A and B are shown apart, each in its own frame.
Chain A
């Protein structure tokens, strides 16, 4: 990308995805560009050799995008399906509002990882920052390392699995029992992400479902 315009790169990738050609592309020298390989709507294999800026692989559908470096804020935001892999670290709000597919972060993710996720699976091999899975509605967040403050604040029905420590749980987020179905689900997710961990080592967190309905005892708070 020292010689090719970002818009030309994205237009080429988007057209290739749309044509259902199932091709493979390699992007070199991404130079931290914004919105790299975003809006891909079809099967395509994209490898980005280097670090990317804001909103890489946003709105991804069916395509497989690998960043051989670190990703800036909002990677795989509102992803629908497919696989996005980050070999390095991801900045804040990785996988935000994602509806489906797998976001596989080999390093750490910073704050607000999986905020308002709506069905996406996110596997983070390192640690995650504060306010992760805030208002997460559906899907699975798997963390092999530690989680920062206020994990799962105002959580709906997403499942959170953390192997390491959790600095603090957010409002209405509680630890829940790991049942057989969760062990099986986690085993499958870890395998898909190529993560070297045993499902039994994780704790599960979910919603206490106390914020779902108005509680008359809290009327003074309004």
Chain B
């Protein structure tokens, strides 16, 4: 069991409240996943800039002097915003290769890369994880979150969701994939490298690799129904919105709500209880084996 939440704002005036609303939704889903929690938040973009979210188990040591090191490597100023075990780097897009190489030298973990996406995930109760990263005060256009009850791999930071395997793309999952080892080997033969033993990371890598081969996100999600075996409700975040797909058996729950101001996704209706004007929302269950999209 796991919990998924997602919120896509149609009303820009609500952007400063995105983190606050998502945090409440995430905490409500603690019963479904108390092991670890994570969130991908799509915030403001800086023209010509890239954001890289990194993580270290020894942040004091790893992040000290990082700004200077990376600025030297890039040859241009690199911004470093430290949040607990994570740091969000802001760098000129054309210095990505130099910065990535400098990060690899220091052994830092990459959580996600994108023009607007930032990813924060850690082991622990969703309430504690949210507090460590101050998720409540984050703004943005949309975000997805996950509370984990581990099945296919150990309870570790790298086993927590969301998983990002391409710029501005991420995936959260409720369920378990039964052919993930086979798919991991297939992807490896194509040169797609995964970082963990986790089944969902394989799902994320599969979707990214289909997109890299020329599929649209919609087609890649359609393909998960044929190529991934097991149970899944997937929510995938993109720069412009999010997509939802459930396996044909659809035993993993999913519910959606839409008002004039937002589209919300959750594993259970409980997560919607405090959303503004939820009484007037259209609430429905996504159909099995059907791809849904919300984009701006």
Contacts and interface: CB of A to CB of B under 8 A. Distances in A.
Contacts of B285: 89, 91, 110
B186 interface: no
B270 interface: yes
A129 interface: yes
Contacts of B287: 129
A70 to B, nearest CB: 6
Contact of B270 (A31, A88, A110, A130): A31
25 contacts: A29-B273, A31-B270, A31-B273, A32-B268, A32-B269, A32-B271, A52-B269, A53-B268, A53-B269, A53-B270, A72-B268, A73-B253, A88-B283, A89-B283, A89-B284, A91-B253, A91-B255, A92-B250, A92-B253, A110-B285, A111-B250, A111-B288, A129-B250, A130-B250, A130-B288
B272 interface: yes
A33 interface: yes
Nearest to A130: B288
A57 to B, nearest CB: 16
B251 interface: yes
B148 to A, nearest CB: 19
Interface string A181-194: 00000000000000
A168 to B, nearest CB: 13
Interface in A131-187: none
B3 to A, nearest CB: 12
A104 interface: no
Contacts of A78: none
Contacts of A110: 250, 285
Interface of A is mostly: loop
B268 to A, nearest CB: 6
For the complex of A and B, the 6 pairs showing the least CB-CB separation, nearest first, are A32-B269, A32-B270, A31-B273, A51-B269, A110-B285, A53-B270
Interface in A48-65: 50-54
Interface string A36-50: 000000000000001
A70 B283 contact: yes
Contacts of A29: 273
A57 B8 CA distance: 33
Contacts of B269: 32, 51-53, 70, 72
A202 B283 CA distance: 29
A29 B270 CA distance: 11
A32 B268 CA distance: 8
A33 B283 contact: no
A17 B285 CA distance: 32
Given A110-B285, A111-B288, A130-B288, A92 B270 contact: no
Given A53-B270, A73-B253, A130-B248, 13 more contacts: A32-B273, A34-B270, A51-B283, A52-B269, A70-B283, A72-B268, A89-B283, A89-B284, A89-B285, A91-B255, A92-B253, A110-B285, A111-B250
Which of B255, B269, B288 has the largest count of A CB atoms less than 10 A from its CB?
A: B269
Interface in A65-108: 70, 72-73, 88-89, 91-92
A29 B269 CA distance: 13
Contacts of B271: 32
A129 B272 contact: no
B32 to A, nearest CB: 11
Which of A50, A51, A52 has the largest count of B CB atoms less than 10 A from its CB?
A: A51
A89 B256 CA distance: 13
B253 A72 contact: yes
A54 B3 CA distance: 14
A92 B248 CA distance: 13
Interface in B250-286: 250-251, 253, 255, 268-273, 279, 283-285
Contacts of A72: 253, 255, 268-269
Interface string A1-42: 000000000000000000000000000010111100000000
A111 B251 CA distance: 9
Nearest to B257: A51
